[in-house]
A and B are shown apart, each in its own frame.
Chain A
Amino acid sequence: MAAPTGIKSPTRARIAARTLRTDRWWLYPTFTALVLLAFVVYATYRAFVGEHYFAEPYLTPFYSPCVTTECVEGSSHLGTWVGDWWALSPAVLILIIPLSLRLTCYYYRKAYYRSFWMSPPACAVGEPHRRYTGEARFPLILQNIHRYALYLALAYNVLLTYDAVMAFKSPEGEWGHMGLGTLILVVNAVLLGLYSLSCHSCRHIIGGRLRNFSKHPVRYRAWGMVSLLNGRHAQLAWVSLVWVAFTDFYIWMVASGTWSDPRFF
């Protein structure tokens, strides 16, 4: 049998309990696991269902840009250059980008390491694993691709902003339209944009990597602004996640005819 390690090591104070915490430390990992699981189930269903994702002029962010020949008419703002070789839903092709950003995000790493991998489930609560190599080895060393996921996600944010702008066109193709869906898409683009810009990698690239702020005043100011956003990164991560699901749900309901889109002008 392997020698006891961690809090059971022979030189440490012999306390049998895994933790002596008396507060509800299990609340954060439980809540996080439930919300993330709910999102994964919903997003997986919507990504594979392949219908009710476009209601002129609204295109759900799960299917934007829609670039395969399978896309419904009018939904392919960037053309169908992928062609028909892609056998799965067009959403799967696109969702890899935001998924890679969120999977490698420094905030979500904390969230899922705690809630799913229990490494650790909460501070000063013993973890159940016998060995631990962290992010020093494969596969978790791949977390270091985060900045590339960010670059792709920033391009994706531009496309979502384009979708939000296109939502100001009426179904007949004339500018000057605004419905509840337009508002939802604009908020969605803003939240996802803020989430990307508040990312720790973005903060580093903008100015954090400098040794000398005083020699780069413009980058220093930009770093200061991104740092302000970065302080809200966790909140932006949650709000943007819930809102993107809500945006998709709203467009699903409009596209399926369950409800109609209230028009402001």
Chain B
Amino acid sequence: MGYDLKMKVWRGDATGGDLVDYTVPVEEGEVVLDALHRIQATQSGDLAVRWNCKAGKCGSCSTEINGKPRLACMTRLSTFEPGETVTVTPLRTFPVVRDLVTDVSYNYRVAETVPAFAPEPRPADGQYRMQQVDVERGQEFRKCIECFLCQNVCHVIRDHEENKPAFSGPRFFLRYAELEMHPLDTNDRRALAREQAGIGLCNITKCCTEVCPEGIHITDNAIIPMKERVVDRSFDPVTWLGRKIFRRDQLPEAQVPQGRAE
């Protein structure tokens, strides 16, 4: 059964903007993105909203709905109280382009600084082999759709613009963890995780995990394990002694890819 939904949608650009009221007819079973498309089609043809798959898999329609970072295509209208006004704004951590579209290129610049997968040489038969338990560990991390909601909600950069050059953010700690736990990878990224990615800035408040639409346990399975690996590398005198005795301190460490570090 259809009804009229009251919405407030942020309209504007970097020079300024405001929340604009809309009343839009919607149908049962629809999502916030449907309502935004109906506004585009019937009331404001110039409303800018980024979207693509409409199935929660491309990560394009990240917005803030009633103040919470969410995918517009995966937020059902039935989750709101009848008569409740739904407020939609752009992500508040990244520069706004127009209306609900933000410039997320910060994330692409960070991605370039993560040292890539560096597998050991192939065995004589040319086939890499991994056991199922080792494959399964990284599967969770590869569910990431790069919607950047975790980056958006992270207060380290959301509330402190000045931290952006020194902080990679939860999405990339996930990448660091995925590579560090890969049995075929030969890079040691622990020093970089601390010095370049700024994992020490994270204070474990778990907001990244709360907003992840893929349900990845970012904090428990990626950030904390990476922090613990950094402790192994930099703060634990016992493992420091072990590295000295077994000469592991002379193994090469990962470097930032040439010409990519900002």
Contacts and interface: CB of A to CB of B under 8 A. Distances in A.
Tell me whether chain A's interface is mostly helix, strand or loop, or mixed: loop
A232 to B, nearest CB: 11
A231 B221 CA distance: 10
Contacts of B134: 212-214
Contact of B137 (A11, A133, A201, A213): A213
A208 interface: yes
Nearest to A5: B161
A252 B79 CA distance: 49
A97 to B, nearest CB: 19
A5 B64 contact: no
Interface stretch (B21-29, B52-60, B230-238, B246-254): B230-238
B201 interface: yes
Would you call the interface of chain B mostly helix, strand, loop, or mixed? Answer: mixed
A229 to B, nearest CB: 12
What range describes how many residues of A lie at the interface?
Answer: 35 or more
B6 interface: no
Interface in B221-261: 224-225, 227-232, 234-236
Interface in A125-150: 125-127, 129, 131-137, 140-141, 144-147
Interface residues of B, number: 63
Nearest to B181: A211
B183 to A, nearest CB: 4
Contact of A132 (B64, B130, B180, B201): B201
Contact of B205 (A14, A120, A137): A120
Given A119-B205, A214-B183, A144 B95 contact: no
A132 B94 contact: no
29 contacts: A5-B160, A6-B160, A12-B14, A12-B94, A12-B95, A12-B96, A13-B90, A13-B96, A20-B87, A21-B68, A110-B206, A113-B205, A114-B205, A119-B155, A119-B203, A120-B159, A126-B158, A129-B159, A133-B201, A134-B198, A137-B200, A141-B200, A144-B230, A146-B231, A204-B229, A211-B180, A212-B134, A213-B131, A213-B134
Ranked 8 nearest A-B pairs via Cβ: A136-B200, A21-B67, A214-B131, A20-B67, A123-B207, A11-B95, A134-B201, A6-B159
Interface of B: 10, 12, 14, 16-17, 19, 64, 66-69, 84, 87, 89-90, 92-96, 102, 130-131, 133-134, 137, 153, 155-156, 158-163, 180-183, 185, 198, 200-207, 210-211, 220, 224-225, 227-232, 234-236
